[in-house]
Amino acid sequence: MDAIEKLKQGFSNFKNGYHKDHQAVYQDLIESGQKPKVAVIACSDSRVDPAIVLQMEPGDVFMIRNIANLVPPYEDNGSYHGTSAALEYAVQHLHVEHIIVLGHAHCGGIKTLFDGNKERVTGHFFVPPWMSMVEPAYLRVIATMPDASDREKHQACEQGAVLVSLENLMTFACIRKKVTEGSLRLHGWFIDIKTGELSCYHADSHTFEALG
Ligand SMILES: [Zn+2]
């Protein structure tokens, strides 16, 4: 089946199945508005759709997706900050209680760091500067893991990207204030779709530990 036809068929199935079965849920979400308690920042990667991986229901999660699940640092320059705007809406308007940065193994965005300038000359204008946010983590991996396999280096960088995002979240005054007050919690999660494992970052041990 053609890729677009497949999506149209998918919507038809949704309309006649899931939507019909969840009419009361949708009606309530329309009348009361959305009140998700969680915002998730995930990668745009087609293989790690959080709605599937985390088995969400409508209204559960305010979703933000971009290349490599990155949160840029707070910047006050009036540009088009899509991720920052979505975060601000989640925190200041929806009053989410949790923000999860959901990293993943085999991330194409992280791979571009290891591919170096090759990507830059093949028509990538926006990706390299976006991914430069993770460059300190990339350089740390290169310096400290010279004998590791490519997969180990990539994964260390993929998890480093989650930590960069967690650090950058705290550069937003509205987020820093709520975290300090205790009304907002930040989480770093990492999923490996090959093994099907989810691990969570523990700040006290500075490690990602598999969910039991
Ligand atoms: Zn990715």
CA of 23 to the centre of ligand 1 (A): 33
Average pLDDT, the chain: 94
User: Are 13 and 43 part of one and the same domain?
Assistant: no
Query: How many structural domains compose the chain?
Result: 2
User: Are 41 and 7 part of one and the same domain?
Assistant: no
CA of 151 to the centre of ligand 1 (A): 14
User: Are 21 and 73 part of one and the same domain?
Assistant: no
User: Are 80 and 60 part of one and the same domain?
Assistant: yes
User: 193 lies in which domain range?
Assistant: 35-210
User: Are 7 and 110 part of one and the same domain?
Assistant: no
User: Are 174 and 188 part of one and the same domain?
Assistant: yes
pLDDT of 109 reads 94
CA of 150 to the centre of ligand 1 (A): 16
pLDDT in tens, 79-110: 899 999 999 999 999 999 999 999 999 999 99
CA of 47 to the centre of ligand 1 (A): 9
User: Are 147 and 179 part of one and the same domain?
Assistant: yes
CA of 42 to the centre of ligand 1 (A): 8
User: Are 201 and 103 part of one and the same domain?
Assistant: yes
CA of 103 to the centre of ligand 1 (A): 7
H/E element holding 62?
strand 61-66
CA of 68 to the centre of ligand 1 (A): 4
Query: Which residue, among 44, 86, 69, has the nearest Cα to 161 in the 3D structure?
Result: 69
pLDDT of 87 reads 98
User: Are 25 and 45 part of one and the same domain?
Assistant: no
pLDDT in tens, 120-176: 557 778 999 999 999 999 999 999 999 999 999 999 999 999 999 999 999 999 999
CA of 104 to the centre of ligand 1 (A): 6
CA of 24 to the centre of ligand 1 (A): 35
Query: Which residue, among 85, 143, 133, 86, has the nearest Cα to 113 in the 3D structure?
Result: 133
CB of 165 within 8 A of CB of 71?
Answer: yes
CATH of the domain at 171: 3.40.1050.10
Q: Measured in whole angstroms, how far is the alpha carbon of residue 68 from the centre of its chain?
A: 7
User: Are 194 and 128 part of one and the same domain?
Assistant: yes
H/E element holding 61?
strand 61-66
Looking from the CA of 7 toward its CB, the CA atoms found within 13 Å total 2
CA of 14 to the centre of ligand 1 (A): 27
User: Are 85 and 144 part of one and the same domain?
Assistant: yes
CA of 84 to the centre of ligand 1 (A): 19
User: Are 20 and 44 part of one and the same domain?
Assistant: no
pLDDT of 121 reads 53
CA of 49 to the centre of ligand 1 (A): 11
CA of 67 to the centre of ligand 1 (A): 6
Model confidence at 46, pLDDT cuts 50, 70, 90, reads very high
> 118 pLDDT exceeds 70?
no
